[in-house]
Amino acid sequence: MAKHKIAYLALSAPELDLVEQGLAGVDYDLQVHICSSEGEAIEAVKGADIILDLSVALTRRVIEEIDTAKAIVSFGHGFNHVDEVAATDHGIIVANTAGFCSEEVSDHTIMMILACAKKLTYLNNEVKAGRWDSSIRSRIVPMKAIDGSTLGLIGFGNIARTTARKAKVFGLEVIAYDPYVQPWIAREYRVELVPSMEEMASRSDFVSMHVPLSKSTEKLAGASLFKAMRSSAYFINTCRGPTVDESALIRALQTGEIAGAGIDVFEDEPTSSDNPLLKMDNVIVTPHTAGTSDASFDNGALQIGQEAARILRGTLPLSLANPGVLNVIERRPPGTNT
């Protein structure tokens, strides 16, 4: 009999090769559970030592039924489908695979910045429609140069830091608002931390969201942020749709409070075909694909196994999503990359 029982909850059959590669050296039995309801999730978590989760909602009701598992490891940066408060209340570690798609999402963010600034989709549509004449240049000004502009980041975690590094290649100055980040980390990336979102917004030519979705970040970007932004500035969101008050964003765009937006994520997904954001020439949209690449899927699968292995060996995960749990569980040594 294997020493550890692992329950892998998913909406459809996951690829396991890289997950099991990450678990190398651990004596385990892994069972996949395809869950389409809360009841199925409750049954799946019973008797497990650790739970791996691929987009299955783990509500407080599900977590309260966990009888033996010490941890939940969620695939992806976002873990809003896991009630981390309930997990903390019950002494259950929640980990994610932070960093698995930092390069992809930061690339997408930079792409959005460049495309908005250079009015790429508008020019693409004009040329394809046969509207190429001497007036086209006058129709796309004013067009502020990217070099020397300022990028403001809301949140300064893994993806934002990677974005900052790449933004500097294009000559962007980078500032950030994140009350949870120590100032020496920002200095390492040559990024200035500012004391409020509104100050950050007022100084930026591009404002980009990089926060996880939680109760504290829901609709974090709202009317006050957009009012503080320059009328020539662009808003970018590649994290989670509900971190933004979408109605306030639409109003800001309709009234000219901001110049445009690049949006990969929406409050409701798939978003309605009637969403006004889809009908605006100054808004670039993509279908929640910022983190997608062959490499990111492989990285995430490997990491979910590696984090599970760390926890089963008695250490902390590298990506602890609910640090408050440290106050209620037995002390564990830090996890390592070895």
Element (H, E) at 159: helix 158-169
- Residue 311's SS3 state is helix
Please report the pLDDT score of residue 119 as a whole number.
95
Tell me how far apart the alpha carbons of residues 102 and 154 are, in angstroms, rounded to a whole number.
15
> Angle CA(52)–CA(53)–CA(54) in degrees, nearest 5?
130
Please report the pLDDT score of residue 80 as a whole number.
85
pLDDT mean over 112-141: 93
Tell me how far apart the alpha carbons of residues 299 and 310 are, in angstroms, rounded to a whole number.
16
Residues that are catalytic: 240, 269, 288
Rounded to 5 degrees, φ, ψ at 245 are -75, 95
Tell me how far apart the alpha carbons of residues 138 and 168 are, in angstroms, rounded to a whole number.
29
Q: Tell me the CA distances in angstroms from 333 to 240, 259, 311, one per residue in order.
A: 32, 49, 10
User: Six-digit token pair at 191?
Assistant: 């990024």
49 with 25: CB under 8 angstroms? no
Tell me how far apart the alpha carbons of residues 283 and 271 are, in angstroms, rounded to a whole number.
14
Please report the pLDDT score of residue 76 as a whole number.
85
Exposure string for 186-198, b = 16+ CB within 10 A, e = fewer: beebebbbbeebe
**Mean pLDDT, the chain, whole residue set:** 95
Asked whether the predicted pLDDT for residue 218 surpasses 70, the reply is yes
Q: Tell me the CA distances in angstroms from 246 to 21, 199, 220, 288, one per residue in order.
A: 41, 21, 11, 15
Percent of the chain exceeding pLDDT 70 equals 100
pLDDT mean over 123-141: 91
For 187-197, write each residue's pLDDT tens digit.
999 999 999 99
Please report the pLDDT score of residue 338 as a whole number.
65
Please report the pLDDT score of residue 1 as a whole number.
78
Least-confidence region, from 74-83, 149-158, 215-224: 74-83
For 66-118, write each residue's pLDDT tens digit.
999 999 999 987 788 999 999 999 999 999 998 899 999 999 999 999 999 99
For 164-183, write each residue's pLDDT tens digit.
999 999 999 999 999 999 99
Query: Residue 205's pLDDT band (boundaries 50, 70, 90)?
Result: very high
Please report the pLDDT score of residue 128 as a whole number.
95
Please state at what angle helix 294-312 crosses helix 102-117, rounded to 10 degrees. Answer: 140
Q: Tell me the CA distances in angstroms from 10 to 69, 168, 223, 306, 308, one per residue in order.
A: 17, 39, 37, 18, 16
pLDDT mean over 205-220: 94
Closest CA to 160 of 105, 92, 85: 105
For 270-320, write each residue's pLDDT tens digit.
999 999 999 999 999 999 999 999 999 899 999 999 999 999 999 999 999
pLDDT mean over 230-252: 98
Please report the pLDDT score of residue 264 as a whole number.
98
DSSP secondary structure string, 319-334?
SBS-GGGGGTS---PP
